Chain A
Amino acid sequence: MKYCLVAVLSLFLLMFAPSLNAQENHEAAAHENAGEKKKDFDAAEVIFGHILDNHEYHLTEYHDAAGNLHPVSLPLPVIVYSPQRGWNIFMSSRFEHGHATYEGYKMEDNKIIPIKEDGSEAEDVKVIDLSITRNVAQMLFALAILVWLMTSIASSYKAGVGVKSAPKGKQNLLEPVITFVRDEVAKPNLGHKYEKYLPYLLTTFFFILINNIFGLIPGTANVTGNIAFTVVLGLISFVVILFSTNKHFWGHIFNPPGVPGFVKPILVLVEFLGVFIKPFALIIRLFANMVAGHIIIICLISLIFIFGQMSSVAGWATSPVAIGFTVFIYMIEVLVAFLQAFIFTNLTAVFIGAAFEGEHTHSEAAHH
């Protein structure tokens, strides 16, 4: 068995031998054919192309007979406003993937840059990019699905289905989840005031969940792994938390009870910063979890192409291993999608509950 393993391993390592010799010639040939569009596989470009926002849905690309690269993508509307030039609305296909300029604008690295007639950049023109990028399009689509789902279920409850009889259809899908959020997240943390906050908690949970799940489909945009998206969610949670604070909360921040005098300045500073750091942690937690998951999956698949560049036998040999790992990580990412939505909602509920926590903590301290 051991010798079998050694034999397999040495056979595998032998496959790399021809590629080690051919490397220099390969690079020389690549420099000669610099005019051709075929490039080496750039893992960083692939990863960032998937993670970052884009003015089109890039689906695939193919090489034609001459070796030219043809990208296949779904263009999205570009909406630009400039105080000097006014509104410009057109499809991003006008830019022809960076090869063409249109109406005084060109696209470079997914940024829209204003240009003058001769093609140089116009320094004095300010541009506000309000395009429907793929993140925006996907968010709007998720929003439409969510609103349709929730309003149709609500109207069937209003019509009496599922109230005195068993729930039917989509109600079966969502009723356990909604009661879970109400009974495990809202009620334990918010006590008798839970009904005020339940709409917000449910909205947060389902919006993050549906965007997480859409981001997992290959070819779609990475909405929740975008720092702008999570910052807005965290800010809204921060505002909700701030609006639920009462004077006991601020009293505890600036005058913590039962603390020796020399520790107080440090503790006041730490507690005050904590008010801001807790929503900041919510932001970073969601963003980092989702973007890390996407990067891992893309890296594992890119491994196949990186090895395939060295020698096509190595590429084929890496495929089953890489795909096996990818499927495993993909399952974990589905779990993480649900988990991160739950954690964001749960921690928001915990912070809101801690914000309006009241008198009983004073009496507890007195009893000690």
Chain B
Amino acid sequence: MIMSSNFILLEAVANAGGAIGAGLAAIGAGLGIGQIGKGAVESIARQPEAMNDIRANMILAAALVEGAALFGIIVGFLAMVL
């Protein structure tokens, strides 16, 4: 392993890129799940009897959005490791 300053810089940039990417993915997840929560809570306010159905659909949609965000986080992690 050549410990030139160029190599250290490359590795630092790769790590920084991975970490920033993961942070952006987390922002995306927060925005998405926030909107899902907003829609779900407003729907429950409009029709409280449907609360259980709405809650089930909210959980399902949140898991799908979180899956997409976790794709981004895994790619960020791969940028650090590979």
Contact = CB atoms under 8 A, between A and B. Distances in A.
Interface stretch (B2-10, B30-38, B67-75): B67-75
Contact of B70 (A184, A289, A342, A346): A289
Contacts of A292: 70, 73
A76 interface: no
B66 A284 contact: no
Report, as a range, how many residues of chain B touch the other chain: 10 to 19
Contacts of B70: 284-285, 288-289, 292
A285 B73 CA distance: 11
Contact of A285 (B56, B60, B67): B67
Interface in A151-200: 184
A347 B67 CA distance: 12
B45 interface: no
Contact of A339 (B59, B71, B73): B59
Contacts of B68: 281
A288 to B, nearest CB: 4
Given A284-B74, A288-B73, A288-B74, A346 B60 contact: yes
Contact of B66 (A287, A289, A342, A347): A289
Nearest to B22: A292
B67 A281 contact: yes
A344 to B, nearest CB: 9
B56 A288 contact: no
A342 B59 CA distance: 10
A346 B56 CA distance: 11
Given A184-B56, A292-B73, A284 B67 contact: yes
B2 to A, nearest CB: 22
A274 to B, nearest CB: 14
A213 interface: no
A304 B27 CA distance: 27
The 7 closest A-B pairs by CB, nearest first: A288-B70, A285-B67, A343-B63, A288-B74, A281-B67, A284-B71, A284-B74
23 contacts: A184-B56, A281-B67, A284-B67, A284-B70, A284-B71, A284-B74, A285-B63, A285-B67, A285-B70, A288-B67, A288-B70, A288-B71, A289-B66, A289-B70, A292-B70, A292-B73, A342-B59, A343-B60, A343-B63, A343-B64, A343-B67, A346-B60, A347-B64
